[in-house]
Amino acid sequence: MNRKETASQNGQTKADRGVKAACDPPGKVELRKKVTLLRGISIIIGTIIGAGIFISPKGILQNSGSIGMSLVVWVACGLLSLFGALSYAELGTSIKKSGGHYTYILEAFGPQVAFVQLWADIIAIRPAGVAVISLAFARYILEPIFMPCGVPQMAIKLTTAIGITMVMYINSMSVSWTARLQIFLTFSKLLAISIIIIPGLYQLFKGETKNFQNAFQVDTVQLTNLPLAFYSGMYAYAGWFYLNFVIEEVENPERNVPLAICISMVIVTVGYTLANVAYYTVISAAELLASHAVAVTFAEKLMGNFSMAVPIFVALSCFGSMNGCLFAISRIFYVASREGQLPQILSMIHVRRHTPIAAVIILYPVTMLILFLGDLYSLLNFMSFLRWFFIGVAVTGLIYMRYTRPEMPRPFKVPIFIPAVFTFTSFFMVFLSLYSDPVNTGIGFAISLTGIPAYYIFIVFNKKPKWFQRFSDSVKTSLQIILEVVPEI
């Protein structure tokens, strides 16, 4: 897996040529530019809007102390997320390589730091994240079937496994199918939010403003807990970075990436804020804090039997997040393989479908193992803060490269205070995690540090015995034949 060896041998072995000849691919085998502006917007919106806005925005209300302050936090978190997204727009248009955080850390700080980030992604962050959102999908798709009884845990896990399998199959078969499905699911999410916003604003215009009286009451605002409210808000907006994972597949990235990011963040911020305003026209602060599914409570109060449809919309929203996340995440492994930090098979393309099928399915066994055997919520708690740490490192890389690589072409350039403010916010959230939950955060940090010895074992000390090399080559050849993949040509 040496970087130089990978670069020199990519597509040159006899096995590769044999598989290529056997499969006889028509035309050039590569990831094609099929992500249009609309598809880019659907990837960003579709991955940001998950289950949270429909289920429980009470974390922000609980920690902000008042309805008015909670709405301020929603808007402020949207603005901070826009700062991060604009910083990534500069990175994506300057470094036109897929891979997101991994690629930017690699370019700014070198292969060792990038590998530690990749290691944390592949062993815990990504499989646990996919499993958690998939569990939410299964729970809400089954809820109308089992009402008024609870949904059995085994039924949830089996449905989760089916959902994950479906998403991985679609992503393996066609980039176009994946993108079209994402557009459909994104419109479904926006329709669901509209179903909440429009009746809620109608109630507001009718004069239902009693819950907004004394909205900024000073004695209820909890300044010490405001950072926790911002942490919850930034988590709700997470997902704006996923388009950068597939930059190489975006048409005209210099134009479409910044445009898609700006349009998406405006839509999401306005949608989130208005949805919360709509909730408060019908639900009091006390009722919202007591509710486990705010959108369901809202629909039951205002729409009667139509509230049965809300879990279906939540499930579709979760499925859209699953689809968008997997589409983007697979490109991290594809790029890392191309850089020589993962097995070469992961950077190979299906000869007819032009999808990185091996990179798509690599998470499948680990995700299933975590789903059925692991305590994935604890694992997600261990690792969630690391995501913000590495995003902060990537944006720090933007500032660093402004000075170390001033000659780099920057078709889209943001004022330096934007990445500076966002970097401070990211590292502040990391510090907040260390302060509020030192045990779980410390465990997550320790897990990520195992990437350092792994880097030396798998990357630096790469002289393997000849028998191991022969075995590795035979496995790679077999997988190429089974998956019908060849190096990008």
For residue 249 the two structure tokens come to 């597949």
Tens digits of per-residue pLDDT, 64-113? 878 888 899 899 999 999 999 999 999 999 998 999 999 999 999 999 99
Q: Can you give the pLDDT at residue 89?
A: 94
Domains and CATH numbers, the chain: 30-378 (1.20.1740.10)
Q: Can you give the pLDDT at residue 379?
A: 63
Q: Can you give the pLDDT at residue 334?
A: 93
- Round to whole Å and give the CA distance between 274 and 266: 12
Q: Which residues pair with 250 in a beta bridge?
A: 35
Burial of residue 33 (number of CB atoms within 10 Å: 0-12, 13-18, 19+):
middle
Residue labelled with tokens 């079209």 = 180
Q: Can you give the pLDDT at residue 53?
A: 80
pTM score of the predicted model: 0.86
C-alpha closest to that of 210 among 281, 299, 278, 294: 281
Cβ(386)–Cβ(444) below 8 Å: yes
Q: Residue 99: what are its φ and ψ, rounded to 5°?
A: 120, -15
Q: Can you give the pLDDT at residue 369?
A: 86
Cβ(322)–Cβ(167) below 8 Å: yes
Q: Residue 352: what are its φ and ψ, rounded to 5°?
A: -110, -40
Tens digits of per-residue pLDDT, 211-242? 787 777 766 666 667 777 887 888 889 889 99
Residues of the chain with pLDDT under 70: 1-30, 55-56, 218-224, 374-383, 462, 489
